[in-house]
Structure 1
Amino acid sequence: MSGGPAPAGRAIAWIDGPTPEGTWGDPDRLCLPLSDRGLLLADGLFETLLVEGGEPRLLAEHLERWRGSAACLGMAPPPGADRVRPLLAEAMARSGLTGSGALRLNWSRGSGAGRGLALPGPDEPQGRPRFWLQLSPWRPASTPVAVVVSGVERRNAASLISRCKTFAYAGAIQALREARAAGADDALLLGSGGDLCCGTSANLLVRRGGAWVTPPLESGCLPGVMRGRGLALGLVREERLSVADLLESEAALLVNSLGGRPIRRCGAIDLPVPAGALDLWRRLLLSS
């Protein structure tokens, strides 16, 4: 998801070990061990947050999802706010960031299980999880986009992976390649049942009859933080959505924590982009 021109500052990254203080450096120069399961097998989780005025937006909600996903996948609990906030403050100082930014938190199962998929048994030495983060200049994305409905990738509603924000984004990348080849900006994915599910990196919101609706989790969509905010605040409701529902809608948005992009066209069909379409995204981001 692309935003506008990046604010002043440079990207900075940190990775834990080999000392308690960890290591700071350029994201292109810091390294993971080749044995890390996050690198080898996409066996890890991440969260991406918007940072504005030095404050990580919706940090508690992101960390709650992070912890829940780790428990779902049998991973050790990831760090909490007491660890993340001091690292973010230092990242801000080191990067010289003067505007908004994107903070990505990464948690892998680490190394130590040997070659292959198998995990250590309960009586065997367990691998040490690995934590790293990156702060990059970022301006929230808001440009209207053209989309296609992917014909090559679908979300699997029955999979544990669909319920967690893992490193495994190969399917989304292929759907995005398909969209770009068709002259579009992004792709919408269907769920295993054939209903609309989500975008490649964002949840889908559609306005019908004056109300915002989003596909249910049973479609296979990720339980996005912004999506959850909309449901909790009563601003969005769950409803199964077909491609026809989208094409006949009053408006549609792709939303995540880094931006809200109105859908201006799906395939060859133009969709309305009403004034104030992004007000909902900002309200979800800032409401307490």
Structure 2
Amino acid sequence: MTGGVAWCEGRWGTPAELSLPLDDRGLQLADGLFETVLIRAGQPCLLDEHLQRWGEASALLGLDPPPERDHLMPLIQEAVERALPEQGCGALRLNWSRGSSPQRGIAPPRSGEHRFWLTLQPWVPSFTPITAIISRLERRNCDSLLSRCKTFAYGQAVQARREASEQRCDDALLLNTNGELCCSTTANLLLKPGSANGNSPWLTPPLSSGCLPGVMRARALRLGLAVEANLGASLGSDDQLLLINSLGCRGLLSLDHQPLHSQALGIDPAESLWQKLLS
């Protein structure tokens, strides 16, 4: 099925064909969570780590526990058969909302069924270096519960990406409310200072910064390839910075239109690091 496949409440179709009830709180209030999982060679990568984060975030925000692996795997396998017949790569999105609300207002309903749906679309991981700015309009709230969860509320990231596009750059980095580098619009940050040697671990902001607890970030920490550290508010021209998530890893060619010389010299460990984290 070209363009991807979707499943919702027992029905298969394309993402454009299926729909949600207009009273779904995910649609009305962004009251829900999602996980984006890489499908490679027909299999979901790091699925247990994604499901653990999904469950922990649901508990944190007072949602019911989301579907478990045993329930999901038959749906994922059928989605792969429908959307990726040649066992290629894809981006699987698992969605979990608080469901339909019987009354108007933001107060969570005391009862009612949550709603699950998924989409799977072909995707090719990208490792091409990009350009970025530091957003002057948006900041990540290091004190908010929502910063610790992958919620439907991506308006801030959308606006920061618009800001970057208006400056003819590919992406934006976000400072947190303490003025420290925190994340990009859709990825965690990995920094290697220009003074570091080749065997030094990458630095990544701590979760107290307000960055999302990314699955690839957590794996880099667990494998000793990264350590937590505050990154400050700017980069040096010899620093290396990677933007990493489950669907790819990209280095920076420039920040705020200033070249990062390490990338210009062709030092691009993005793909090799990302592959290590998946192995």
Deviation at 1:218, TM superposition (A): 1.3
Kindly report which structure 2 residues correspond to 1:198-277, keeping only aligned pairs within 5 A, or say none. Answer: 198-208=183-193, 209-210=196-197, 211=200, 212-244=202-234, 246-271=235-260, 272-273=262-263, 274-277=267-270
Deviation at 1:132, TM superposition (A): 0.2
Asked if the contact 1:46–1:105 (Cα under 8 Å) also holds between the matched residues in 2, the reply is yes
Asked if the contact 1:11–1:134 (Cα under 8 Å) also holds between the matched residues in 2, the reply is yes
The separation in 2 between residues aligned to 1:224 and 1:176, in whole angstroms, is: 19
Which of 45, 48, 52 is the aligned partner of 2:36? 48
Asked if the contact 1:105–1:131 (Cα under 8 Å) also holds between the matched residues in 2, the reply is yes
Matched to 2:5, the amino acid is I
Name the counterpart of 1:152: 137
Name the counterpart of 2:177: 192
Worse-superposed segment, 69-78 or 92-101: 92-101
1:103 aligns with 2:92: yes
The separation in 1 between residues aligned to 2:30 and 2:125, in whole angstroms, is: 27
Q: Which runs of 5+ in 1 are unaligned?
A: 1-7, 17-21
Aligned pairs, number: 269
Instruction: For residue 72 of structure 2, give the secondary structure of its aligned residue in structure 1.
Output: helix
Asked if the contact 2:130–2:250 (Cα under 8 Å) also holds between the matched residues in 1, the reply is yes
Deviation at 1:194, TM superposition (A): 0.3
Name the counterpart of 1:166: 151
Matched to 2:278, the amino acid is L
Q: Which runs of 5+ in 2 are unaligned?
A: none
Against the structure 1 CA distance between its residues 96 and 237, is the aligned structure 2 distance closer, same or farther, given a 3 Å change threshold? closer
Worse-superposed segment, 87-96 or 74-83: 87-96
Deviation at 1:250, TM superposition (A): 3.4
Name the counterpart of 2:126: 141
1:55-90 residue CA offsets vs partner (Å, 9 max, x unmatched): 100000000000000000000000111111110111
The separation in 2 between residues aligned to 1:263 and 1:132, in whole angstroms, is: 34
Matched to 1:135, the amino acid is L
Which of 65, 85, 102 is the aligned partner of 1:77? 65
Asked if the contact 2:42–2:84 (Cα under 8 Å) also holds between the matched residues in 1, the reply is no
The separation in 2 between residues aligned to 1:154 and 1:93, in whole angstroms, is: 41
1:157-176 residue CA offsets vs partner (Å, 9 max, x unmatched): 11000000000000000000
Matched to 1:11, the amino acid is G
1:285 aligns with 2:268: no
The separation in 2 between residues aligned to 1:91 and 1:128, in whole angstroms, is: 24
The separation in 1 between residues aligned to 2:123 and 2:147, in whole angstroms, is: 26
Instruction: For residue 169 of structure 2, give the secondary structure of its aligned residue in structure 1.
Output: coil
Identity of aligned residues (%): 53
Provide TM-score, normalisation by structure 1.
0.90
The separation in 2 between residues aligned to 1:215 and 1:256, in whole angstroms, is: 14
> Following TM superposition, where does structure 1 have runs of at least 4 consecutive aligned residues deviating by more than 3 angstroms?
none
Name the counterpart of 2:112: 127
Which of 52, 55, 78 is the aligned partner of 1:67? 55
Name the counterpart of 2:162: 177
Instruction: For residue 114 of structure 2, give the secondary structure of its aligned residue in structure 1.
Output: strand
Deviation at 1:249, TM superposition (A): 4.3
1:91-113 residue CA offsets vs partner (Å, 9 max, x unmatched): 11222442100000000000134
Asked if the contact 2:131–2:255 (Cα under 8 Å) also holds between the matched residues in 1, the reply is yes
1:121-149 residue CA offsets vs partner (Å, 9 max, x unmatched): 4xxxx121000000100000211110000
Instruction: For residue 106 of structure 1, give the secondary structure of its aligned residue in structure 2.
Output: strand
